[in-house]
Every structure is written in C-alpha cells, then in structure tokens.
Amino acid sequence: MPKPLPWLAVLAIATLACGGKPKTPIPVAGSPPPREPIKPLITTPFAGQQIAVVPITLVVGIDTLATVAPLSNHQQAVAWADSLVGLALETRRPEVKWALPPELRKIARRSPTVAPDPDRMGQSLMRANSIDDVPEPLQSSLRSLVAMLNGRFALIPAAITFVPEQSGVVRSEVSMVLADSRTGKVVWRTVAWGLGATPTRALIAAMENVLPL
C-alpha cells in the first residue's frame, strides 16, 4: 500500500489543481504596480479542519487616511478589520472551520493560565517577508492556543495598511501568513492588495483577491 503524501505535498498539489498561480489584479489608471503577485489561499487540504484566525493588531492609514474613521481610532480599526477579514473567510472559504478572534478570546478567558492573550502575542512581527519560522515566544503562544482548538494551523493577518492613490482611490495591503503551530514553519504567505473608493471597499477587494472563488 503506497504511503500517504505528506500534508505539504498535498497542499502543493492542491494549489496547482485549484489554479494556485499567483493572481495579479489590474489596478486602475495611476496606481503603481504591486510589489509581487498575490498568492491565493488554497484551503482544499484543510477542508473540515479547524484553523485559528489570529486577531489583527497592526492597522495603519497612511497620510490623510490616518484621520479617516475607523482608521483614526486604533481600537475601532482593529475590530473593524477583524470583522471584515473574518466575514471574507467564512463566506469565501466555508469548507474550513475558522476559529475567529472572538472565539480565541473566549478560550483565553476560560483558561488564563494555559492560553495566552490572543491580542498580545506579538503577531504583527510576522509581516516581515524574511521570517520563515515563527520565533519565540510567539510560536509557543500559538501552539498553546491552537492546541485548545484541537487544531494545528493558524492564519495570521499580520498587518494591514491603507494608502491613498494618485487616482483618488484607496489601496489596501494585507500581509498574511499561514503557520504550522506545532513546527513553527510558515507554510504560506502573501501580501494581498485591493483598490476601492473607501478603506472598507479596498479591504474587501484585497480579501476577494486572496480568496478567489
């Protein structure tokens, strides 16, 4: 009997089978080209599995956007961004059992001596492209939190920025990482981006680009 393929191999095959070629949306006139193509999040190997979605802690509006609601208030901005990201995941990738930030916070409150505070793990450092292994103490925090879900993987929206374009629209960039909480390995990362008339529309467009139907 042939041995089952490792999950990394399954992920690679599924990425190719599901059109995993990096997607490059066409920006409107006046927008600069993206730094690199978007790598779609292919969830076929994770169907039926529980994946933790770590809360967003870094949301930044550049220039005049820093004074626009909800970006002008950090607490409101991260809650707003969490809700839009969670909604996109649940509606566009329903085959996965997403454990969104509100659920992670409940778990942490129920077991404060075991589970870390999901809003204070230092997850924003994962926005650096050079990080291939989740550093400590973040790895231990992820492992403890995800283990309480009987899961293995964590999706980390590490940073979201909003930039005003010369064309008058807003550009949203979302740095995202999928990490194996047991090994600490980064198994997928991308910077998803989208354009819209408002920060909300731009973030929705970025999530649609990284989660194509």
Please report which confidence band the pLDDT of residue 36 belongs to, taking 50, 70 and 90 as the band edges: confident
Gap between the Cα atoms of 196 and 75, Å rounded: 23
Q: What is the DSSP letter of 163?
A: E
B/e letters for 174-198, b = 16+ CB within 10 Å, e = fewer, are: bbbbbbbbeebebebbbbbbbbbee
- pLDDT grade for 25, boundaries at 50, 70 and 90: very low
Given a cut of 90, whether residue 58 has pLDDT beyond it is yes
In the three-class reduction of DSSP (H, G, I as helix; E, B as strand; rest coil), residue 40 is classed as coil
Q: For residue 9, what is the enclosing H or E element?
A: helix 7-17
pLDDT of residue 201 exceeding 60, the answer is yes
The mean predicted confidence, pLDDT, of the chain is 88
pLDDT, tens only, 176-188? 999 999 999 999 9
Hey, is 162 helix, strand or coil? strand
Task: Give 90-106 pLDDT, tens digit per residue.
Answer: 999 999 999 999 999 99
Residue 77: predicted pLDDT:
97
Residue 13 scores a pLDDT above 60:
no
Q: Where are the beta strands (DSSP E) in the chain?
A: 50-53, 59-61, 97-99, 153-164, 170-180, 186-196
Closest by CA position to 171, among listed 159, 155, 160: 160
pLDDT band at 112 (very low <50, low <70, confident <90, very high): confident
The mean pLDDT of 114-137, rounded to a whole number, is 95
